[in-house]
Structure 1
Amino acid sequence: MAPQRFREQFTQIQRSMPDVPLAMGPDDAGEFLYEKGVVLARDGEEARVVEDTVRQHFTTFAGLTPDQVRRTSPQTNRSGITRIRVADPGQGDGSGDPAVAGALRALSAAEDRTGRRLVSRNHVVSIAVNACPGDEPVPVGRGAQPNPAAADGAHDPGTAVGVLVIDTGLMHDHGSYPLLAHTRGDAQVEECDGDGVLREYCGHGTFIAGLVAAVAPNTDITVRGTLNDAGAILESEFGEKLFEAVDRDGWPDVISLSAGTSNGRTDGLLGVDAFMRELLDHPTLLVAAAGNNGSATPFWPAAYAALPGYENAVLSVGALRGDGEFGACFSNHGGWVKAYAPGERLTGALTGFETPVPYVYQHSTYDACRYGFTYACTCHHPRHSGVLSEDGTTGKPDQVMFEGLAQWSGTSFATPVAVGMVAAHMTAQAETDPRKARRQLLDANTEYAQVRGAHVPALLPPTWRPVPVSPPSART
């Protein structure tokens, strides 16, 4: 059965996408979400093969009529993906979709013959994976300082490293935070609900931009609100949105992406395949979050870093716990994660400094770490009760006030720290090639951490201050 936090997150994302019936996968294990009743295929001949094969399979074995299998979107788009309806998405519940599973099985023989992937679920790509990002933001006092603190250095428009953040949009008052004075981009949609309460994930993109600017002041940061709806978007739309972002702003030096999904496979996401192939034609470096499932299962697009040809084009980033010595309990891990950076209890700008804003917690903390760790991790500290808790014992959800800075945890935030490290290296070494800077940075790195028994590169900014934690358990 899916973990409690994943079920809560399913409820949150479904609420933000009311017109898209969703299911958990695989089965009810709670590794990813996907659109019910629909599969994806590449445009053209492959879409025709998928359509014909699925139609024959279902009319022969499932008793469906031929017209129930049909394309439900334009046949051509920039990402080269077609949605094919294989069942009524309104049938059944969210525990799985037998029709989609049947469509995948029907194409398995054809995929074996061609050696090429032909069909896929339409996954939900999200900043909220199981642990939503690693926790929810926590207020800090008025006298608190950013961590990482602002590095020395000035912003020089002539040499600044271009960074494109694909995330939620910018809070309306972000410009009152000094580090974000040069940041531009999309505004966050609907920052607060009708009662003036901050919506979940609002400030996520602002927080990320502030971390990049703190580690690397000489950056030109653009934030695009691709993930404004509860931090979630369908895979069929995500590739198109990535193309829109780079078409609008040009290919930057670095893309910071704190979103993704697992899919039960080791060959990437069909919906972003065209974008990833085009990425190889540009010098841009994609820095992507490894995800917060506490799992070794590949998480995409970050896991492209382990695929042939993408070694220099993609940097996948996991999260270290507060002391920087071990992996955070929630961080995904494995050989496909190429570097780790601080990602637990970082302090940065959730909003500007104009007006305090209330926030009501969506998820409750646990009595103990849900991954079995014994240090004081974000699973159970600091304690709070949330709206979506299913145990019925939390009572009234906790409300807090944010006045600019906050602490937040997740691979979402380890990622912009790594982006800042690459950008700072480019400025310090007058290096204009971000992929070469990535190699140089990792080759020169002398800091390491222990993650699930592995000795891994740790990217620790000079201005980052470790946060003390209790002694590690055997699970670290």
Structure 2
Amino acid sequence: MAPQRFREQFQQIQRSMPDVPLVIGPDESAGFFYEKGVILARDGDEARLVEDTVREHFTAFAGLTGDQVRRESPATNRTGITRIRVADPGQGDGTGDPAVGQALRSLTAVEGRAGRRLVGRNHVVHIAVNACPGDEPVPVPRAEPANPGQAGTPYDPETAVGVLVVDTGLVHDHRGSPLLAHAGGDLQIQECDEDGILQPYVGHGTFIAGVLAAVAPNTDVVVRNTLNDAGAVLESEFGEKLFEAVDRGGWPDLISLSAGTANGRTDGLLGLAAFMEELREQRTLLVAAAGNNAADLPFWPAAYADLPGYQDSVLSVGALRSDGESGACFSNHGPWVKVYAPGERLTSALTGFRSPVPYVYQHSTYDDCRYGFPYACTCAHPRHTGVLSEPGETATGKPDQVMFEGHAQWSGTSFATPAVAGLVAAHMTAHRETDPRAARKQLLAANTAQAVVRGERVPALLPPTWRPVPVTRPGRRS
């Protein structure tokens, strides 16, 4: 049996949120997780309407008890969202949540009369390497240069473009990498476990900051540990955490966000609506990852780039494979993905250079590409045995351990995103453009590079210092 990476990550995320019962969305093809027994509604009259409608439905039609339906304390934050409990979270298992499904269906007619969405699941928002990661980091020799390499524009604190990275925090020795000499913000809460082994995906925010600083050295990069070390947060908390991140330093020129979730809908996340409305009124450009589920289902907030009123304020980014000619096998795709950039086997800073640190792989690689692509993609190469895979799925059953001493190679739309944010910032510096949204339009208008993704020609933004690597068929060396 092949590894089941999405289900493995469900177990991983559930362990990181032990007090929150989670389920996989209606089926695994939906590509999302959510809190069991809870729905979301807007505060005030809408929350009361939702509560009353669900209780009446459960009592009259669903064969369930309506006495468990209750509003929990309304949120006191700017998101304006109320959690409504609709069932005992201890009932059933993690394969679905009939009570939440019934609650959502009970509002269908009411939403139709209201002319807008009133209710939603409480999804888990996660870093885009999580849930269905492109791959896990691979150590590279200290002498191997970053890819993208560092551009020539010097850092100038007077003209530097402000970029906020909303992610996991920086590793403590990040300034050991020249790329991150000027990076600031939050540190990881816990880099290693009690045995001194790096926690899963530690260095995600650091790697992103390194890619961004390489493409655009004249930036003030601030990394916030908004998504905690596990890289996952409930939708009901996500909007407020984004508000907190921008409040700490003011609205920046750019936000680089390599996180999100699908939700099976085309109208966004209820818990993010207030933040997105305020973003629209600012000058900030949100550059957001399209996600790694190899699907065309909208991944939020990246997919806001395709919604009326948000096209100027959001730029969604998919990933290209290592040669830059086609889409990476794992990248989400579709008309809501507005641009693609290299996102396979990039090289950047994972830790500083003070001492080697061990890492144990979480996922086993596949015998072939899990999405059916015919090149030597990150699904299968390099070979790894992961701790989350079931016994018997791999040859040895023992997870692989490696040592990191500075740089790493890593793949995902997580890392294509800061490359694009960096290109927008570099354009602002080169052209003395102070409006990031205008810079985005100018950059895309001047760009002529294209790639092929699922048979369609799409815009490709290729950093000048990025070095393409030819792809090979499985079993052949470059």
**What TM-score does the superposition give when structure 1 sets the normalisation length?**
0.97
**How many residues are matched?**
471
The answer to whether the Cα contact below 8 Å between 1:168 and 1:226 also exists between their aligned partners in 2 is yes
CA distances 1:352-382 after superposition (whole Å, capped 9, x unpaired): 1111100000000000000000100000000
Percent identity between the two aligned chains: 77
CA drift at 1:287: 0.2
Question: Does residue 218 of structure 2 align to residue 218 of structure 1?
Answer: yes
Aligned to 1:103: 103
Distance in 2 between residues matched to 1:87 and 1:264, nearest whole Å: 22
Aligned to 1:420: 422
Aligned to 1:409: 411
Distance in 2 between residues matched to 1:386 and 1:155, nearest whole Å: 40
When residues 359 and 129 of structure 1 are mapped into structure 2, their CA distance, relative to the original with a 3 A threshold, is closer
CA drift at 1:176: 1.3
Aligned to 2:458: 456
Distance in 1 between residues matched to 2:128 and 2:311, nearest whole Å: 26
Distance in 1 between residues matched to 2:263 and 2:226, nearest whole Å: 21
When residues 3 and 359 of structure 1 are mapped into structure 2, their CA distance, relative to the original with a 3 A threshold, is closer
Distance in 2 between residues matched to 1:125 and 1:229, nearest whole Å: 13
CA drift at 1:75: 4.5
Gaps of 5+ in 2: none
The answer to whether the Cα contact below 8 Å between 1:74 and 1:82 also exists between their aligned partners in 2 is yes
When residues 162 and 296 of structure 1 are mapped into structure 2, their CA distance, relative to the original with a 3 A threshold, is same
The answer to whether the Cα contact below 8 Å between 1:32 and 1:263 also exists between their aligned partners in 2 is yes
Higher alpha-carbon deviation: 383-392 or 86-95: 383-392
CA drift at 1:73: 3.1
CA drift at 1:107: 0.4
Residue aligned with 1:9, SS: helix
Aligned to 2:297: 297
Distance in 2 between residues matched to 1:293 and 1:360, nearest whole Å: 23
Residue aligned with 1:187, SS: coil
One-letter code of the match for 1:405? Answer: H
Gaps of 5+ in 1: none
Counterpart mapping for 1:187-336 below 5 A = 187-336=187-336
Aligned to 2:437: 435
The answer to whether the Cα contact below 8 Å between 1:6 and 1:30 also exists between their aligned partners in 2 is no
Distance in 1 between residues matched to 2:28 and 2:472, nearest whole Å: 34
CA drift at 1:71: 1.6
Counterpart mapping for 1:365-404 below 5 A = 365-390=365-390, 392-394=392-394, 395-404=397-406
CA drift at 1:66: 4.0
**What TM-score does the superposition give when structure 2 sets the normalisation length?**
0.96
When residues 447 and 112 of structure 1 are mapped into structure 2, their CA distance, relative to the original with a 3 A threshold, is same
Residue aligned with 1:261, SS: strand
Residue aligned with 2:272, SS: helix
Distance in 2 between residues matched to 1:241 and 1:306, nearest whole Å: 24
Question: Does residue 361 of structure 2 align to residue 361 of structure 1?
Answer: yes
Residue aligned with 2:347, SS: strand
Q: Alpha carbon RMSD of aligned pairs, Å?
A: 1.5
One-letter code of the match for 2:241? Answer: K
CA drift at 1:128: 4.7
CA drift at 1:249: 1.1
The answer to whether the Cα contact below 8 Å between 2:128 and 2:258 also exists between their aligned partners in 1 is no
Distance in 2 between residues matched to 1:6 and 1:391, nearest whole Å: 17
CA distances 1:150-198 after superposition (whole Å, capped 9, x unpaired): 0001111111000000000010000111111111111101100000000
Counterpart mapping for 1:163-174 below 5 A = 163-174=163-174
One-letter code of the match for 2:434? Answer: T
Distance in 2 between residues matched to 1:460 and 1:452, nearest whole Å: 19
Question: Does residue 81 of structure 2 align to residue 81 of structure 1?
Answer: yes
CA drift at 1:65: 4.3
CA drift at 1:31: 1.2
When residues 149 and 12 of structure 1 are mapped into structure 2, their CA distance, relative to the original with a 3 A threshold, is same
The answer to whether the Cα contact below 8 Å between 2:30 and 2:264 also exists between their aligned partners in 1 is no
One-letter code of the match for 2:207? Answer: F
One-letter code of the match for 1:98? Answer: P
CA drift at 1:248: 1.1
Residue aligned with 1:260, SS: strand
